[in-house]
Structure 1
Amino acid sequence: MREVGLKIRTAGMAMALVALVGGCSSIRDHRGYLIDNTLLDSVQPGIDNRLSVEKTLGRPTFVSQFGQKDYYYVSQIVKTPPFGRPHTAEETILRVRFDAAGNVVAVDKRGMEQVARISPEGDKTPTLGRHRSLLEDLFGNIGAVGAGGTGAGGAPTGPGPNGS
């Protein structure tokens, strides 16, 4: 009888361990445009125009704001490890370039090799002005309020209506 209880307990612990380890796997999430290579191959330079590209590939993720109005389709795969921040594992940017008449000139495809990694310098941002301690900030104005600009009896001394 004890052997059966021990086997059940061991099996239950094994299943709990499997569930815990399964929960520690990374979550993989797709964001943005789903690139279909068959549809992408059907867009031909010199043959297609803006309207046919929109009908084939759909609306772009964004359109360039300066220069030629190129279409950009952005696709990302983001992984989120347990108890961690999400990070981009894969990224594909599809750029469809047009000429002045709106016909396709070229289709460019880029990946993670174009992503720039930026590392900020330090924890503090340098600012102009005085460097004061907490106590100077708290008590620095004591005695300064009402100290200047008043004459005998507290009357304003300046030329303006309020002494300024």
Structure 2
Amino acid sequence: MRKVGHKIRTAGMVLALSALAAGCSSIRDHRGYLIDHTLLDSVQPGIDNRLSVEKTLGRPTFVSQFGTKDYYYVSQVVKTPPFGRPRTADETILRVRFDDAGNVTAVDKRGMEQVARISPNGDKTPTLGRHRSLLEDLFGNIGAVGAGGVGGGPATPTGPGPNGS
């Protein structure tokens, strides 16, 4: 009887530890366009046009706003560690370029090598101008703007209507 209770307790501890370990793994999430390399390889420069690209690859993530109307397909894999911020683990950007007639001229593929990592400059953004104290910020505009009714003007409405209009 004692061996059975010990086995049940051991099995319970193993299950609890495995549940804890599963909770500590990061979450992997895919965002954006799902790349199918077979469909991507079927898009041929000089043969396909805008309509055939949309039928093959689907609607683009976005279309360029300036210059030629290139199609962009964006795909991201984001990992979120426990108690951490999401980080982009992999990113692929497909650009389908068109000529003026709407025919495909090239298909470009870019990845994480084009992603720029920036580091903000501390907690404050440096600005030009005067450094003011808290009291100057709170009371700095007193007397700077004229109050209504003060300054020598008539205090009664001047027009023929009931409110001076």
TM over 0.5: yes
Q: Compute the displacement of 1:145 (Å).
A: 5.3
5+ residue gaps in structure 1?
149-154
Moved segments of 4+, more than 6 Å:
none
Aligned residues between the structures: 152
Aligned to 2:16: 16
Q: Secondary structure at the match of 1:108?
A: strand
Task: Give per-residue Cα distances to partners, 1:11-70, cap 9 Å, x unaligned.
Answer: 101110001101111111110000101100110000000000000000000000011000
TM-score by length of 1: 0.82
Question: What letter matches 1:117 in structure 2?
Answer: R
5+ residue gaps in structure 2?
156-165
Distance 1:3 1:97, change over 3 A: same
Q: Over aligned residues, Cα RMSD in angstroms?
A: 2.5
% identical equivalent positions? 84
Q: Compute the displacement of 1:135 (Å).
A: 4.5
Q: Secondary structure at the match of 2:19?
A: helix
TM-score by length of 2: 0.82
Distance 1:137 1:69, change over 3 A: closer
Distance in 1 of aligned mates of 2:128 and 2:46: 56
Aligned to 2:30: 30
Question: What letter matches 2:2 in structure 1?
Answer: R
